[in-house]
Amino acid sequence: MRPFRANLMICGGTACVSNRSFDIKKALEKEIEKQGLDDEIQVVTTGCNGFCAAGPLMVVQPEGIFYGHLMEKDIPFLVEEHFLKGRPVKNLMYVPPETEVPIPKMNDIDFFKGQILIALRNRGLIDPEKIDEYIGREGYYGLLKVLTSMTPDEVIKEIKDSGLRGRGGAGFPTGVKWELTRAADGDLKYIVCNADEGDPGAFMDRSIIESDPHSVLEGMVIGAYAMGASQGYIYIRNEYPLALQRLLIAIDQARDYGLIGENILGSNFSFDINVTRGAGAFVCGEETALISSIEGKLGNPKPRPPYPTTSGLWGKPTNINNVETWANIPVIINRGANWYSEIGTETSKGTKVFSLVGKINNTGLVEVPMGITLNDIVNKIGGGIPDGKKFKAIQTGGPSGGCIPAEKLDLPVDYESLAKAGSMMGSGGMVVMDETTCMVDVARYFLTFTKDESCGKCTPCREGIAQLHRILTKITEGEGTMEDLELLENLANVIKDTSLCGLGKSAPNPVLTTMRYFKDEYLAHITDKKCPARVCRQLNTYVINAEICASKGHGCGVCRRECPEQAISGEKNISHIIDQEKCVKCGVCFDVCKFNAVTIE
Amino acid sequence: MEKQKVEQIIAKHKSEPSALIAILQDVQEEYRYLPEEAMAIVVDRLNIPLSRAYSLATFFTAFSLKPRGRHSIKVCMGTACHVRGSGMILEKIERDLNVKRGETTDDLKFSLDEVYCLGCCGLAPVVTIDEDLYGQVTLVKMPKILQKYS
């Protein structure tokens, strides 16, 4: 077979797919055939490239030229210019907002520059549905190495020496957990991959599975060999259909190749993997609840100890690691603990994948060395805040984490520093907030989530979070008092100290950190009855600027038609008026007005 | 409800209590809810009390005890979607379809739910209808999207 002259790696991640990247692919294939280039140029669907903000996107390999925001109508021109005439098309390349000069190569774009890819090493480079492409990138070499040249104890030592810590959030040393499982009594042992990614704003696990499912499988088989487990489970979130499909394809292929199943690679080691679909409960990301759920029972957490490493699934020793943790394993085995532990800080080794979302220019998935500053993530990789707005805070750790303010942007990203700032590493969601985000509303938002997702077993979490939520709602509606602030803090600390599992213990963090760093916003809601960010709608008064409405909008009437309470009156060419008696402050008029004639007072 | 269909679903799994969630997921997919008769057959075959199936059915959001709509609308309430105004999109759908979140329209056409993070925060705010995903949804675009399903 002759190699192709160019490979067009088109992103098949969820964000690009919903931006119709498959239509782009079809258009490319059609055009390539039309130009008679189909035996020279190949179109490949890859997993998530990471730079979701530029989607739908593709990278031309081996040149590494990056095209973003593709549209079907651009394709004939693109194929003719770049692939027939050899002239890359400048106006489809990425243009950084400040310079307006297109950057042809992916690796020269700031978003990709500061990244080190370990867990995401194959993203955008392979077709996730083809095992041969994974093998072509050193896939399953780590497994071959452990089966042919390492004892289980040597594997565990390697993982311990690497300093790898759990990437699901808590940061427990992975090698130590493996050692505990190996040392536990019993012939039958289980390992589990936790793919029940539930933190709102975090999608790295989904992305790893969608772009490189074999990296997770290989990590699991290596782990099973080290711990002496014969059966593995992957517990995957119900809302991730594409990830599930790719995982099932990968397992079938690995089984066909003898990489999973009886006598793996001709050795006397056997191991198989089952996939269990979650049924929609955030608490099932907690390990004891996850175990219950695999057993077909209610996803209720149990008190620990006993830890799953001694008594887990069906009472047997069970090791649970998160998707990203498993995906790191093959690389550590391949390249060695020394190499891995040189990346990162004293206590936090290696890299971490973060999903960078919210009010940020370069939304997407990034993998960075531990110890990088928040500032580098937000302003260099993330490209800063859109529309010239001012950065206010970055939220890490999802509903269990906290909000870190602008003055702490120099903070290095590692487990300890984030915890000291009142937040946590968590699974890796990073939500950027600007001046138009209300911190009281953010705290209330996370409590709405944890209130809904509390399993209800222990009282502090079930009742306490509901009360925190009630008080915060009161404050956002302008009914809060100064005593409420004290009550919030006391109650938050009680919930933190007395809840049964991590969900309750960490749920007050968003409240505590926003009160610590953004007290002035709470005070504005309580004493001035104003929301400085104009988010808490009950504190807003919506008015229409007569001048703008009449002169620019010519009384277009969109707000009048959209108003659910018929509170807006007016006619064509005449300024509209909001009847404040009827207004329910839903904010629709503000949102739909194209002329910015609706203002908030 | 056809008894045979439920039996077929059960036959695809192991007849063990640990298969209960997986069986109920398939029943839910088939009928868009968990009919009481179907649950009765399932617990009978697995030899467990009905209360256990009921407790799962009311705990996990993937299950419903009431018939669900032909189209399932999910509005993402993830953090990125929240800060980009998904709450207003949800309120708009509630008003336009005259249905509350978590409920189904009287004509059984639509069910409306909140979901926390679909993992495509770059497209926020996001709404899915059945298998279709819509990104950067606005109040003005929403009615046009819904029209496609009526």
CATH number of domain containing A308: 3.40.50.11540
Q: Which of helix, strand or coil describes residue B41?
A: helix
CATH number of domain containing A456: 1.20.1440.230
Per-residue pLDDT tens over the stretch A271-320? 999 999 999 889 999 999 999 999 999 999 999 999 999 999 999 999 99
**Closest approach of chain B CAs to the CA of A394, in angstroms?**
12
Specify whether the CB–CB gap between A352 and A36 falls below 8 A. Answer: no
Residues within 8 A of A (CB atoms), B 20-39 only? 20-22, 24-25
- Tell whether A487 and A580 lie within a shared domain: no
Does residue A237 form part of some domain?
yes
- Tell whether A96 and A236 lie within a shared domain: no
Of A385, A408, A434, the last residue of a domain is A434
State the residue for tokens 């997919």: B29
- Tell whether A141 and A196 lie within a shared domain: yes
Q: Mutation test of the interface with chain A: which of B89, B117, B128, choosing the one with the most A Cβ atoms within 10 A?
A: B117
Tally of domains in chain A: 5
pLDDT at residue A14 in the model:
80
Is the CB of residue A238 less than 8 Å away from at least one CB of chain B?
yes
Report helix angle B3-11 to B36-46, nearest 10.
40
The amino acid at residue A229 is A
Which structural domains are found in chain B, ordered by start? 3-59 (no CATH), 71-147 (3.40.30.10)
- Tell whether A511 and A549 lie within a shared domain: no
Q: What share of chain B is helix, strand, coil (3-state, %, to 5)?
A: 50, 15, 40
Q: Which residues does chain A have within 8 Å of residue B53's beta carbon, measured at their own beta carbons?
A: none
How large a percentage of chain B has pLDDT more than 90? 75
How large a percentage of chain A has pLDDT more than 70? 100
- Tell whether A397 and A276 lie within a shared domain: no
Query: Could you tell me which residues come within 8 angstroms of residue A368 by beta carbon, excluding any fewer than 6 positions away?
Result: A114, A115, A116, A351, A352, A354, A376, A377, A381, A413
Q: Which residues does chain B have within 8 Å of residue A357's beta carbon, measured at their own beta carbons?
A: 79-80, 121-122, 124
- Tell whether A142 and A181 lie within a shared domain: yes
pLDDT at residue B119 in the model:
76
Specify whether the CB–CB gap between A313 and A190 falls below 8 A. Answer: yes
pLDDT at residue A323 in the model:
97
Q: Is A2 exposed, middle or buried (0-12, 13-18, 19+ CB in 10 A)?
A: exposed
Within 10 Å of residue A30's Cβ, how many Cβ atoms? Answer: 15
pLDDT at residue A1 in the model:
62
Question: Low-confidence residues of chain A, pLDDT below 50?
Answer: none
Does residue A531 form part of some domain?
no
Specify whether the CB–CB gap between A38 and A32 falls below 8 A. Answer: yes
Q: Could you tell me the two tokens for B110? A: 């639509």
CATH number of domain containing A84: 3.40.30.10
CA atoms within 13 A on the CB side of A348: 22
CATH number of domain containing A388: 3.10.20.600
Give me chain B's average pLDDT, please: 92
Does residue A117 form part of some domain?
no
pLDDT at residue A367 in the model:
97
CA A529 from chain center: how many Å?
Answer: 35
Q: Which residues does chain B have within 8 Å of residue A200's beta carbon, measured at their own beta carbons?
A: 77-80, 82, 116-117
Preceding peptide of B125 cis, ω within 30°: yes
Residues within 8 A of B (CB atoms), A 75-114 only? none
| Nearest residue in A to B114, CA atom | A449
CA–CA gap between residue A142 and residue A174 (Å, rounded): 17
CA–CA gap between residue A44 and residue A23 (Å, rounded): 13
Report helix angle A213-227 to A152-162, nearest 10.
120
Within 10 Å of residue A6's Cβ, how many Cβ atoms? Answer: 18
pLDDT at residue A395 in the model:
94
Smallest Cβ–Cβ distance between A358 and the set B63, B79, B133 belongs to B79
Residues within 8 A of A (CB atoms), B 127-146 only? 131, 133-135, 138-140
CA A246 from chain center: how many Å?
Answer: 18
- Tell whether A17 and A98 lie within a shared domain: yes
- Tell whether A321 and A380 lie within a shared domain: no
Does residue A470 form part of some domain?
yes
B1, pLDDT greater than 80 = no
Q: What are phi and psi of B109, to 5 degrees?
A: -85, -45
Does residue A515 form part of some domain?
yes
pLDDT at residue A339 in the model:
97
The amino acid at residue B37 is E
Q: Which residues does chain A have within 8 Å of residue B24's beta carbon, measured at their own beta carbons?
A: 279
> Picking from A300-304, A567-571, B17-21, B114-118, which range would have the lowest pLDDT averaged per residue?
B114-118
Work out the average pLDDT over B92-98: 94
Q: What share of chain A is helix, strand, coil (3-state, %, to 5)?
A: 45, 15, 40
Is the CB of residue B18 less than 8 Å away from at least one CB of chain A?
yes
Does residue A119 form part of some domain?
no
| Nearest residue in B to A585, CA atom | B88
Interface touch A357/B77, C-beta < 8 Å: no
Preceding peptide of A460 cis, ω within 30°: no
Give the DSSP letter of residue B103: -
The C-alpha angle B53, B57, B58, rounded to 5 degrees, equals: 125
CATH number of domain containing A566: 3.30.70.20
Segments forming the whole domain that contains residue A583:
540-600
Of A289, A305, A340, the last residue of a domain is A340
CA–CA gap between residue B149 and residue A156 (Å, rounded): 54
pLDDT at residue A70 in the model:
95
- Tell whether A369 and A313 lie within a shared domain: no
Start-end of H helices in A454-507: 459, 465-476, 482-498, 502-506
Specify whether the CB–CB gap between A331 and A340 falls below 8 A. Answer: yes
Give me chain A's average pLDDT, please: 94
B122, pLDDT greater than 90 = no
Does residue A535 form part of some domain?
no
Q: Which residues does chain A have within 8 Å of residue B27's beta carbon, measured at their own beta carbons?
A: none
Of A480, A502, A526, the last residue of a domain is A526
- Tell whether A138 and A30 lie within a shared domain: no
Q: Mutation test of the interface with chain A: which of B24, B58, B60, B83, choosing the one with the most A Cβ atoms within 10 A?
A: B83
pLDDT at residue B59 in the model:
93
B121, pLDDT greater than 90 = no
- Tell whether A316 and A367 lie within a shared domain: no
pTM: 0.92
- Tell whether A179 and A253 lie within a shared domain: yes
Q: Could you tell me the two tokens for A333? A: 């085995």
CA–CA gap between residue A440 and residue A511 (Å, rounded): 8
Work out the average pLDDT over B58-84: 91
CA–CA gap between residue A393 and residue A404 (Å, rounded): 5
Preceding peptide of A399 cis, ω within 30°: no
CA A585 from chain center: how many Å?
Answer: 32
Q: Could you tell me the two tokens for A105? A: 């190569």
Question: CA-CA distances (angstroms) from residue A372 to A342, A375, A397, A401, A409?
Answer: 14, 8, 16, 19, 11
Residues present in chain A in total: 601
Question: Which of A503, A270, A313 shows the shortest CA–CA distance to A397?
Answer: A503
Does residue A126 form part of some domain?
no
